[in-house]
């Protein structure tokens, strides 16, 4: 695994342990090149998903992007990081088990909102209010960049 800090291709695994109730393996890695430390997760991927945007464009489903948007919505909420990981895995598992490889971005947004609504109301409102504005545009990158907790805007 390449070092995300310096690009060194030769990094070492310092520690491996089960995570997310044995659905994943978490590895702590060390880069001898720059001394950087980072974490990787190994997970089962049942199928390769493709996101179909409202404008018809297709792109590979990116778990990290989904995860980023959910973590931003969850910022400073009293929810354990481990619980958030489980929640994201649950969403991905649902998408993978829908029986289709192509998934409309709208469906993903709705599943995320439905899930957040059950876990944390504030996170749900944050996500939903931004999501509505971008439903038509279907631009997930723009969506993620707009999605910030209100208290960070003041800083």
- Draw the binding track, 35-54, toward Zn ion (x: CB under 5 A; -: no contact): -x------------------
Determine the interface stretch with Zn ion among 34-42, 65-73, 104-112, 120-128 (rule: CB under 5 A): 34-42
Distance of CA 46 to the CA centre of its chain: 17
**Residues binding Zn ion: number (CB under 5 A):** 8
31/111 with CB nearer Zn ion: 31
Other Cβ atoms less than 10 A from the Cβ of 127: the count is 24
Could you write out the DSSP letters of every residue in 68-126? Answer: HHHHHHTTTSS--HHHHHHHHHHHHHHHHTTS-SEEEHHHHHHHHHHHHHHH-HHHHHH
Residue 63 DSSP label: H
Task: Give yes or no for residue 8 binding Zn ion (CB under 5 A).
Answer: yes
Answer for which of 23, 25, 28, 33 binds Zn ion (CB under 5 A) is 33
Cβ proximity of 108 and 100 under 8 Å: no
Task: Give yes or no for residue 6 binding Zn ion (CB under 5 A).
Answer: yes
2/142 with CB nearer Zn ion: 2
Determine the interface stretch with Zn ion among 23-31, 51-59, 79-87, 136-144 (rule: CB under 5 A): 23-31
Answer for which of 19, 31, 84, 112 binds Zn ion (CB under 5 A) is 31
- Draw the binding track, 89-128, toward Zn ion (x: CB under 5 A; -: no contact): ----------------------------------------
Whole-number Cα distances in Å, 21 to 25, 93, 95: 10, 14, 19
């Amino acid at each position: 695994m390449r070092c995300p800090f310096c690009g060194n291709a030769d990094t070492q695994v310092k520690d491996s342990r089960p995570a997310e109730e044995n659905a994943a393996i978490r590895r702590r890695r060390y880069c001898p090149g720059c001394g950087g430390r980072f974490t990787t997760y190994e997970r089962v991927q049942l199928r390769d998903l493709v996101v179909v945007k409202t404008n018809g464009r297709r792109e590979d489903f990116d778990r990290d992007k989904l995860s980023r948007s959910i973590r931003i919505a969850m910022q400073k909420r009293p929810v354990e990081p481990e619980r958030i990981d489980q929640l994201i895995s649950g969403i991905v598992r649902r998408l993978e088990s829908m029986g289709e490889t192509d998934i409309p971005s709208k469906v993903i947004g709705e599943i995320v909102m439905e899930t957040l609504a059950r876990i944390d109301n504030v996170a749900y409102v944050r996500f939903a209010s931004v999501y509505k504005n971008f439903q038509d545009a279907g631009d997930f990158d723009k969506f993620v960049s707009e999605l910030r907790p209100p208290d960070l805007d003041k800083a």
